[in-house]
Chain A
Amino acid sequence: MAGLCLPLAMLLLLLASACGQEAPQPQPQPRVQAEIPSQGNEDLFPIRYRLKWLHQAQFAGSYMALEKGFYQKRGLDVQILSGGSDFPPYRSLVNGHSDISNLNLMTAVKYYHTGPEIVNLAQISQKNSTILVGKKTPRLLSIEDLNGKKIGIWRDEPGEYVRLFLEYNQYDAQIVPVDWSVNLLLNNAIDLMNAMDYNELHRILMTGWDEKDLIQFDLSDHGFDIVDDGLYTTKEFYGQHPEECARFTEATLEGWIYALAHPEETLDVVLGYLREAHLPANRAHQAWMLGHMRDRVLRYPDAIGYLHPDDFDKVQAILLEHGWISQPVDYKSFYPHEIRKKN
């Protein structure tokens, strides 16, 4: 925990500064509390936060921020909404069904000019997590073997990244739009599927397949090292509520730091969300996921939540090259927290 206190304190300072506050004191927490005294629910600022996907440990930071009152003590009444195929987070954001959404960086950059402009509040995951996974066969041993294969890819927005990868590399594969199930792969309805290494990969392993019998292509090893989860809002909402956005981000990151420092307590909370949503509540799986999220969130322990310009430039270059965007996106405009830089 001691290792996490310093980055948190630093982040709090950075965020406070970003929101036009005066120079902060060395002890940030009392200062925040002094500025935002505890209020009743009716006085809290309501925020609808749409997750990228169904409830799971991928969003543990938000649950813990809510659970431990980190939002509330910052004057926010946050409602965490499930995402997934039925409630695509980008559409939810632009349609006004949510105030803040969890999106892939690539999605956000891709739609920056085509839809309402959106801004990145924090880059939660600092690592690429997408892989292509299939059963190892003599016909499927290298990335070139993707040609002619049936590849299950999440329909709509979550699968865009993989579709772009295949298109960009001109693999002649048959794309099968799928939901979150791994059973298509198990029943040989498809040859490969896209998977998050913190999620679907484990679910496949938990049906009796060993890693040695699977073939995995990590997209970051093939030129697509694009970071994923981030907190986003529309420029309009950000312009109207910069302070609330900053507090939301700050509380979410504090929630993450708490979650990673208290994995067992966090798993209890996550499993509670899963049960409430009638989703498979599997502690082993959520523990695996939380463990992998730790690597993603804490990749740069001194810059949690920071969108590195390099990561931003990388995705922009890929999208431009591919023609998925026609003009570059301004980093400062996309990530308007000038002071929030890595020291």
Chain B
Amino acid sequence: MRSGKKTKTLAFQIISFIFFFLVIVLAVTFLIIGQLINRVTIDSANESIGNLLSEKVQLIDKKLVRIMTQGRTFRNVVSSDVLDETELRRQLLHLLYDNPDLISVCLAYGEGSGREPRVYQLLEGRLSSKLIANPDYQYKDWYQIPYLTQKSYWSDPWFDADGSAQLVCSYSLPLVVNGSLMGILRLDLPLENLQRIALSIKAKDTGYAFLLSYNGTIVAHPEDSLAMNYTIFDLAEIHQDARLREIGKSIVNDESGIARIKDWDPEGDVWIYYRPLPSSHWTLAMIVPHAELVSDYNKLTLIYLIAAVIAFLIVAAIVYGRTHAINQPLKNLVDSLKLVGRGDLDFELSTSTNAYEIKFLTEAFEQMRASLKEYITNLRQVTAERNRIMNEVLFASAIQRNLIPKHDNPGLRPQNISTYGILEPAGQIGGDLYDYFLIDANHFCFGIADVVGKGIGAAMSMTMVTTLLRTVAPLYGTPAQIMGQLNGFLVKNNLESNFVTMTLGIIDLNTGELVFSNAGHVPLYLLRKDGRLRKFAATHSTALGFFEELAVESESLKLGPGDQIILVTDGVTEALSPDESLFGTAGLETILGELAETQPERTAQAILAAVRDFSRSDDQKDDITILVVEFQGNLPG
């Protein structure tokens, strides 16, 4: 969640994933199948248009073949040279009458043949003949080419001004009479007849046919201005289309073919189909726009795409609905987790789902919720209990602190005594103690003690010791006796068998004599005013509370004005440095040795600072207690 990636719903991810692969699958199938269908469509169209073209070619060719057959038959009749004028005219009448495609017949005898060139036509059912007066006809293609090549010849369309006065295509045959070439027999077919057939051919919506003569001249074309004016090669030159010129060459070579031409004006890409008329070497060609050829394919493609989109939408809807249904328990689970995150465990989680994993997850979560709720309930109780105990401990701690003399209460000490004590418990409550008080007007009692043990028991023992100390001190004048009383009490009442180390001293305020007993405690130090330090390491008994019969001794010393008694607990001498070395009495002595012209507070603070500096840790292991008592001189008499 913290990766910065935008999260999306499961349904969206599944749908988009499906969509991605669906698009790939569709694209691949579209490309492969589309190409195949396109190929098949074009092949099929090509075949049907080719068939149409073949049919029309046969239709036109049939007409031409008929004219050719008639022409050859008639030439044989004329060549035999046995006809008189009447018979010739009768035969011509029959020829024209039987062949309505013929508009005229010309017997074009050459110069020196001794015969007149004449053109014959049917006019109102009668044979009409016209003399060709101008000898220039000998330079016309229809005459000159068959004459020179002595082969029959289908002419380009030409305007027969001497005969029918219209555009005709002529079939010319050399006339050989008695072995000599006498001239040309010409049979004329109105171009219009061929044009009509060619122009009536349609394919698809706008596909059209056009007719080309043997040299590529366009003789029939829906666009009038092209017919008789342009060859296919002219069109290739206008379009600057080398491919079209190649097609033209194929056409004039009597070849059949199908080709696609790019950017044909104005249709765009077109297909050209061409097939020669075998009899005349002319060619019937068709132009069909590519768009029309593949229009079915395009429609199919569109339907395919629409179907694909619909299929996708249906799949998407189903997937959305299903994932939504599956997702609902998950969503509930997510909502529940949010509630748990806010600490609300009092909700009902529905586990009604038929998805195994989700059901398992939901049930597991429900168990976890129930366990968590129970645990939290328990925890709350435990915490409340703990808090209660803690409060009580804190209260006990406060009580304990209150038992310790306050520095701001000078009434506790006489005029010639100055004290300063520090108690830093390791926990809330400690087992250390210091105390001082006046036993009577001349005796000042002070002590320091350390309960061996931790916790409430130790603290309670300490509290008992404090209380008891204050109680028994006035009754028993010496530290040894007081300690004996304390020991007896502790042995009897100390439930946890804690024992207590203690140094207790009583100063005679008038003389400065100090009597003190050390019950298993850290040594007492005397820091003279002049800076000399003296250690009193001897203990006068074992720790209190251990042995029922305890003999406590004591020793005494004489205090001078300015002398300080320094008492610490083992929290000071047993403080550990990070490298586990002991502060020890040596460390204490070093500090005390460095002090000069000192006062109790400075001495106590210097010791605390030295210990803290030595241990370099916030985690204090043991209670630290320091008590410094300064005797300032005898009380004035």
Contacts and interface: CB of A to CB of B under 8 A. Distances in A.
B241 interface: no
Contacts of A205: 233
Interface in A197-224: 205-208
A196 interface: no
A138 interface: no
A265 interface: no
Contacts of B248: 208
A179 B139 CA distance: 6
Nearest to A186: B215
Interface stretch (B145-153, B397-405, B499-507): B145-153
Contacts of A183: 141, 145, 156, 215
Contacts of B475: none
Contacts of B230: 280, 282, 284
Contact of B141 (A184, A281, A283): A184
B238 interface: yes
- Interface size band for A: 20 to 34
A41 B153 CA distance: 50
Contacts of B245: 208
A189 interface: yes
Contacts of B233: 205-208
A184 B145 contact: yes
- The CB with the most chain B CB atoms within 10 A, among A86, A181, A190, is that of A181
A189 B144 CA distance: 8
A179 B148 contact: no
B148 A189 contact: yes
Q: Select the residue from B136, B145, B225 with max chain A CB neighbours within 10 A.
A: B145
**Which bracket fits the contact residues of B?**
20 to 34
B149 A178 contact: no
A28 to B, nearest CB: 39
B140 to A, nearest CB: 7
A283 B229 CA distance: 9
Contacts of A206: 216, 231, 233-234, 237
B159 interface: yes
Interface string A162-188: 000000000000001111010110111
A155 interface: yes
Interface in B127-168: 136, 139-141, 144-145, 148-149, 153, 156, 159
A284 B215 contact: no
B149 A187 contact: yes
Interface string B506-542: 0000000000000000000000000000000000000
Contacts of B552: none
Nearest to A274: B229
Contacts of B612: none
Nearest to B161: A278
A97 interface: no
Contacts of A208: 215-216, 231, 233, 245, 248-249, 251-253
B228 interface: yes
Interface string B243-277: 00100110111000000000000000000000000
Nearest to A179: B139
A229 B153 CA distance: 35
A86 B136 contact: yes
Interface in A118-155: 150, 155
Interface string A204-248: 011110000000000000000000000000000000000000000
Contacts of A280: 228-230
Interface string B205-244: 0000000001111000000010011110111011000000
A205 B234 CA distance: 9
Contacts of A86: 136
Contacts of B153: 187
B137 to A, nearest CB: 10
Given A189-B144, A285-B234, A207 B215 contact: yes
A57 B248 CA distance: 26
Nearest to A180: B139
A283 to B, nearest CB: 7
A181 B234 contact: no
Nearest to B158: A181
Q: Which 5 A-B pairs have the closest CB atoms?
A: A189-B148, A179-B139, A207-B215, A206-B233, A284-B234
Given A155-B139, A206-B237, A284-B237, 6 more contacts: A85-B136, A150-B148, A188-B149, A207-B231, A207-B252, A283-B238
Interface of B: 136, 139-141, 144-145, 148-149, 153, 156, 159, 214-217, 225, 228-231, 233-235, 237-238, 245, 248-249, 251-253
11 contacts: A150-B148, A184-B145, A187-B149, A189-B144, A205-B233, A207-B233, A208-B215, A208-B252, A280-B230, A281-B229, A282-B230
